Amino acid sequence: MRTALDAMGGDHAPQPNIDGAIAALQGDPNLEVVLVGEEGLLEDLVGKSGYSGERLEIRHADGVVEMCEKPTDALRSKPNCSIAVCWQMMASRDVDAVVSAGHTGAVVAAGLRTRLFLKGVKRPGIAVAVPTIAGQSVLMDVGANPAARPEHLYQYGIMGEIYAREVLEVQDVRVGLMNIGSEDGKGTELVQEAHALLSTRPLKDRYIGNVEGRGVYQGEADVIICEGFVGNVVLKVSEGVAQMMLGTVAKTVVENLSSEREHAGNLLRKMSQRFVHNESGGAPLLGIDGICIIGHGSSNAQSITNALRVATTFRDRRINSQIVEAIAAHKVS
Amino acid sequence: MRTALDAMGGDHAPQPNIDGAIAALQGDPNLEVVLVGEEGLLEDLVGKSGYSGERLEIRHADGVVEMCEKPTDALRSKPNCSIAVCWQMMASRDVDAVVSAGHTGAVVAAGLRTRLFLKGVKRPGIAVAVPTIAGQSVLMDVGANPAARPEHLYQYGIMGEIYAREVLEVQDVRVGLMNIGSEDGKGTELVQEAHALLSTRPLKDRYIGNVEGRGVYQGEADVIICEGFVGNVVLKVSEGVAQMMLGTVAKTVVENLSSEREHAGNLLRKMSQRFVHNESGGAPLLGIDGICIIGHGSSNAQSITNALRVATTFRDRRINSQIVEAIAAHKVS
């Protein structure tokens, strides 16, 4: 397994990226990582790390897409930035996977340019696992596809089911459709048509119907399909609410305790790990002929290690062959 | 002020509706309330309440739209159900306002049937106040209009600004557009066109641009415009996350304390009032030639009293004349 890691992507890059890569290499003797970014800087930091193995390579790239930049503009002005070079390596089959904690829009835009779509897949989508009362559920798409059509949502159901089953190891995956009511005939034309496709075709034994916003966090479904705009808003709103709630509990509950204030504070911080930091190992861009794992912007070394491991699991479980087979078996005109 | 109260609408109706109406009458000598619902039942309960004033009237209605029913079907099979009678009374100018904590979809569907739109308003929308770190913000629309066009979103900006300023008493209202990035050129065609309208017309001195999901709960804007599907999902997802967080804090923090467990539990319950119960007094359907306040399904007597008070404030502040004037001044083709 040979993976290109966007060494410059992420709020704290490149240090946690390098540390995370080294930890992943130490845990997996069959892994090779190519650090993509400023050569001089990376050589210096790898030297300081004391890592001397041969499975860590450096590939130069010019610049990085900053979080404030518009992806298309940035990729035009910096054609050899770190994420662009990662995808060039995957397009030329120099690597099996790309891992980045950089600007999600740029990771997707650079990837879609390569047109590395899996056979039969109409539009790739990002699948992200979110914590729920019951454990976790997958939301797909959360922003790769801004103009979804019913057949795209249908294919997200197929791809999301495989991802949840094989990578997250969920048994008897239940696929739901994000909607504004649980009855039939609810929602926009897009979701109504997607509902009809999901209900009548072979996916139907996995499809449980509409899921409302409240149901997502009750764990009503293991995979929740939505179009990219809605998914992205849901993801960010959820993070916003979780952070607000944790902050308010700290201020109005923990701060008002006396003898157990410190203990309660520690418990709250421990709990918050599950909700605020992404420990799940990043979100795959599904439907790509290759492997692309997108980490959270705030990734630390552990998150990078996890993302590199998920990329390997992705290959080991043959996710892409399974997607191609399932898409072929569920052909939509 | 004469208000029709859907006495049968709400998870706990009709008792809290009657109690809430009586409390509102006691607080406002100029208020008249018409309880709309099963006459015999309501007479019995009002008799038991000991209220003897003349400002509480009962109007018979046959049945109620249940939460599990599809609004259009229910309104067809029960044309004289409580919410339908409320709207008939407003259409015939027998009352100034309708207040209901029943099935939101049915309240809206019954209302839109009357075609009581304010002059110039293309589509009414529901504005709801949500708690944020900074206080509260208004989301609009949260589900009245399932097929929004850019000019509808633009008008939601105009109406939401007036509501926030006059009813919620926000000074220098900042209007934002829910989007998946803060830069220009982000999002679907709908939001891009709405952004262009909001940026170039007179609303621009109140318009602060795109707001991301995370920004909503940071209080980045006082009014956040979105189309009904997105708004409804955001509202329910937010409730779901808030409930999950409160439940997890109770279980993993509070339950693991010893001497201060009870104290912490009380503080948490007190805090949760702000997030889980709707104390703000309900959500108006803006753009209607009349007043319609939609309460949360879980409304208790206090929530009903608040909703009745908001309806009165709505009239006192001349919200509808202000909307008509502003819409005329900001005419969109």
| Least confident range of A70-74, A287-291, B31-35, B78-82 | A70-74
Domains in chain B: boundaries? 2-121+287-317, 125-277
Q: How confident is the model at residue A322 (pLDDT cuts 50, 70, 90)?
A: very high
At B187 the pLDDT is 86
Closest CA to B109 of B126, B94, B130: B126
Q: Mean pLDDT, to the nearest integer, of B42-51?
A: 94
Whether chain A has a CB inside 8 Å of the CB on B245: the answer is yes
Average confidence score pLDDT of chain A: 93
- Cβ distance B214 to A239 less than 8 Å, yes or no, reads yes
Q: Mean pLDDT, to the nearest integer, of B205-223?
A: 93
Most confident of A264-278, B242-256, B262-276: B242-256
Phi, psi of B183 (to 5 degrees): -75, 160
- Which of B137, B177, B245 should we substitute to test contact with A (largest number of A Cβ atoms within 10 Å)? B245
Residues 93-152 of chain A whose Cβ lies under 8 A from any Cβ of chain B: 105, 131-133, 143, 146-147
Q: Give tens-digit pLDDT for B107-150.
A: 999 999 998 999 999 999 999 999 999 889 999 999 999 889 99
Tokens 């290109």 -> residue: A4
Phi, psi of B62 (to 5 degrees): -100, 105
CA distance A8 to chain B (A): 21
Q: Give tens-digit pLDDT for A84-100.
A: 999 999 999 999 999 99
Whether chain B has a CB inside 8 Å of the CB on A235: the answer is yes
Q: Give tens-digit pLDDT for A102-123.
A: 999 999 999 999 989 999 999 9
Task: Quickly count: other Cβ atoms within 10 Å of residue B94's Cβ.
Answer: 12
Q: Could you give the dihedral angle defined by the CA atoms of residues B194, B197, B199 and B203, in that order, rounded to the nearest 10 degrees?
A: -110
Give the full edge-to-edge strand order of the sheet including B223-225.
B56-60, B32-37, B2-6, B97-100, B291-294, B283-286, B125-132, B135-140, B223-225, B175-178, B207-211
Q: Give tens-digit pLDDT for A195-231.
A: 999 988 767 789 999 999 989 999 999 999 999 999 9
Q: How confident is the model at residue B277 (pLDDT cuts 50, 70, 90)?
A: low
Residues 54-93 of chain A whose Cβ lies under 8 A from any Cβ of chain B: 68, 70
Contact between B238 and A241 (Cβ < 8 Å): yes
Domains B2-121+287-317 and B125-277 share a fold: yes
Inter-chain contacts counted by CB atoms under 8 A, chains A and B: 186
At B279 the pLDDT is 53
Q: Looking at per-residue confidence, does A77 or A277 come out higher?
A: A77
At A184 the pLDDT is 76
Residues 291-330 of chain A whose Cβ lies under 8 A from any Cβ of chain B: none
At B100 the pLDDT is 97
Q: How confident is the model at residue A279 (pLDDT cuts 50, 70, 90)?
A: low
Q: Mean pLDDT, to the nearest integer, of B146-172?
A: 95
Query: Between the CA of residue A237 and those of B78, B176, B179, B230, what are the distances in Å?
Result: 38, 15, 11, 11
At A147 the pLDDT is 87
Whether chain A has a CB inside 8 Å of the CB on B247: the answer is yes
Residues 1-60 of chain B whose Cβ lies under 8 A from any Cβ of chain A: none
Task: Provide, as residue numbers in chain B, all residues whose Cβ is less than 8 Å from the Cβ of A133.
Answer: 244, 247-248
Q: Mean pLDDT, to the nearest integer, of A22-42?
A: 97
- Cβ distance B147 to A188 less than 8 Å, yes or no, reads yes
Fold exhibited by the domain B2-121+287-317:
Isopropylmalate Dehydrogenase (3.40.718)
Give the full edge-to-edge strand order of the sheet including A291-294.
A56-60, A32-37, A2-6, A97-100, A291-294, A283-286, A125-132, A135-140, A223-225, A175-178, A207-211
Which one is the CATH code of A2-121+287-318: 3.40.120.10, 3.40.718.10, 3.40.50.920, 3.40.50.2000? 3.40.718.10
Task: List the helix and strand counts (H, then E) for chain B.
Answer: 12, 11
Contact between A125 and A167 (Cβ < 8 Å): no
As a whole number of angstroms, the distance between CA B235 and CA B147 comes to 18
- Cβ distance A217 to B243 less than 8 Å, yes or no, reads yes
Task: Provide, as residue numbers in chain A, all residues whose Cβ is less than 8 Å from the Cβ of B192.
Answer: none
- Res. A316: pLDDT tops 60: yes
Q: Mean pLDDT, to the nearest integer, of A176-205?
A: 87
- Cβ distance A264 to B259 less than 8 Å, yes or no, reads no
Cα angle: B92, vertex B96, B101; to 5 degrees: 105
Q: Choose among A234, A241, A264: nearest Cβ to B217.
A: A241
% of chain B exceeding 90 in pLDDT: 83
Contact between B65 and B102 (Cβ < 8 Å): yes
- A182: left (phi > 0), else alpha (psi -120 to 50), else beta? alpha
Contact between B62 and B73 (Cβ < 8 Å): no
- Res. A126: pLDDT tops 70: yes
- Res. B278: pLDDT tops 60: no
Closest CA to B72 of B42, B104, B106: B106
Domain covering A125-277 in this structure, CATH number: 3.40.718.10
Whether chain A has a CB inside 8 Å of the CB on B210: the answer is no
The full DSSP string for B54-76 is SSEEEEE------TTS-HHHHHH
- Cβ distance A253 to B271 less than 8 Å, yes or no, reads yes
Alpha helices in B261-318 (DSSP H): 261-276, 301-316
- Res. B332: pLDDT tops 80: no
Query: Between the CA of residue B124 and those of A6, B86, B142, what are the distances in Å?
Result: 48, 18, 11
